[in-house]
Amino acid sequence: MNSISEKELAAIEAVKFIKNNMTIGLGTGSTAAYMITHLGERIKKEGLIIYGVPTSEATEKFALKNGIKILSLEEVKKIDITIDGADEFDTYLQLIKGGGGALLREKIIASNSEFNIIIADSGKQVSRLGAFRLPIETVPFATKKIADQLHQKGLDPILRKKGETVFSTDEKNYILDVNILPFYNLESLNQELIAIPGIVETGLFLTTTDLVLMGKGSKVIHFKKNKPNKKNRKTLINSALIIC
Ligand SMILES: O=C(CO)[C@H](O)[C@H](O)COP(=O)(O)O
């Protein structure tokens, strides 16, 4: 039997949020690719005009094939919705991203979007971030020294490789994948990392996500960021509500 995967189910649900003439931030990875394929089908069937700001060169090529009009970040006034995948997400809609190496552009585009949707299969849901190693993008010139510093901090960095050669991002940087499990305060860890000269960005996305659509079995579960008000501020800050 050919059942639709959880990734594809989440992607199909996300495409329903897209309307004619919108500008969409286009994520990178296999889940985002499903979204682009289904968006392409809607463009063909309904004659929609959709503009896309891609988060990687690979996504740009694939989006063009699917009839999306590509714009650069500087060309757009606003990005209505960004739809992207993730390597892990937790109850607070905090993410680890960058498994595909596109974390820098992904974070820039997420930070410039009005609304951010993450699409994922149920294997990406965790109670605590960190089983997936956190990708950290570094400039090649400083990478060895940064790795030494991260090693001293107990983060056990591994230089990402592609076969025999060092993996290089679209920005021609390197990636160190680190173990964040000993660290509980992710915000301060992130600030500490970003403060190291030569670290360009980390794959910790702590505040950008508005909605996670998670495929589970044959259903899609919506995890929505709560907007705190005066009454519930204390309990709701950083918490997520499940709306099936
Ligand atoms: O962050 C990413 C790329 O940098 C991807 O969104 C993440 O790695 C998930 O990929 P996939 O959808 O293939 O599981």
The CATH number of the domain where 106 resides is what? 3.40.50.1360
What does the pLDDT look like over 138-193, one tens digit per residue?
999 999 999 999 999 999 999 999 999 999 999 999 999 999 999 999 999 999 99
DSSP code of 85?
-
Distance from C-alpha of 112 to C-alpha of 73, rounded to nearest angstrom = 9
Q: Which residue has the tokens 């305060």?
A: 185
Angstrom distance (rounded) from CA 231 to CA 77: 35
pLDDT of residue 228: 55
Say how many domains are in the chain: 2
Portion of the chain with pLDDT greater than 70, in percent: 92
Dihedral angle of Cα 102, 105, 107, 112, to the nearest 10 degrees: -150
CA–centroid distance, 81 to ligand 1, in Å, is 17
ipTM of the complex: 0.99
Q: Which atom of ligand 1 is nearest to the CA of 32?
A: 12
Over the stretch 118-135, which tens digit does the pLDDT of each residue have? 999 999 999 999 999 999
C-alpha distances (whole Å) from 118 to each of 122, 187, 201 are 12, 20, 19
pLDDT value, residue 158: 98
Based on the fold, state whether residues 88 and 10 are members of the same structural domain.
yes
Known binding residue 97? Answer is yes
Q: Both tokens of residue 204?
A: 């910790």
- Distance between the two ends of the chain, CA-based, in angstroms? 26
The answer to whether 213 and 195 have CB atoms below 8 angstroms apart is no
With a 6 A CB cut-off, is 98 part of the ligand 1 pocket?
yes
**CB of 100 sitting under 6 A from ligand 1:** yes
Residue 117 in any domain: the answer is: yes
Tell me: is residue 33 an annotated ligand-binding position. Answer: no
Tokens linked to 42: 């809607």
Verify that 191 and 86 share a domain, yes or no: no
31 lines ligand 1 (CB under 6 A): yes
Average pLDDT, whole number, for the chain?
93
User: Does the annotation place 156 within a ligand binding site?
Assistant: no
Q: Mutation test of ligand 1: which of 8, 9, 31 has the most ligand atoms closer than 8 Å to its C-beta? A: 31
pLDDT value, residue 3:
84
Which pLDDT score is estimated for 242?
44
Examine the domain organization and report whether 117 and 18 are in the same domain.
yes
28 CB within 6 A, ligand 1: yes
Judge whether 193 and 157 are in contact, CB under 8 Å: no
> Do 77 and 190 have their domain in common?
no
Ligand 1 center–CA 230 separation, angstroms: 36
The residue segments making up the domain with residue 81 are 6-122+206-225
**216 marked among binding-site residues:** no
Is 201 considered catalytic here? no
157 and 76 in a single domain? The answer is: no
232 within a domain of the structure (yes/no): no
What angle do the packed helices 30-46 and 57-65 form, to 10 degrees? 30
Based on the fold, state whether residues 141 and 214 are members of the same structural domain: no
- The C-alpha atoms of residue 12 and residue 214 are separated, in whole angstroms, by 11
Which listed residue (8, 13, 88, 106) is catalytic?
106
In this structure, the answer to whether residues 21 and 110 fall within a common structural domain is yes
The string of pLDDT tens digits covering residues 196-243 is 999 999 999 999 999 999 999 999 999 999 765 555 444 433 344 444
For residues 104 and 83, give the distance between their C-alpha atoms in angstroms, rounded to a whole number.
Answer: 15
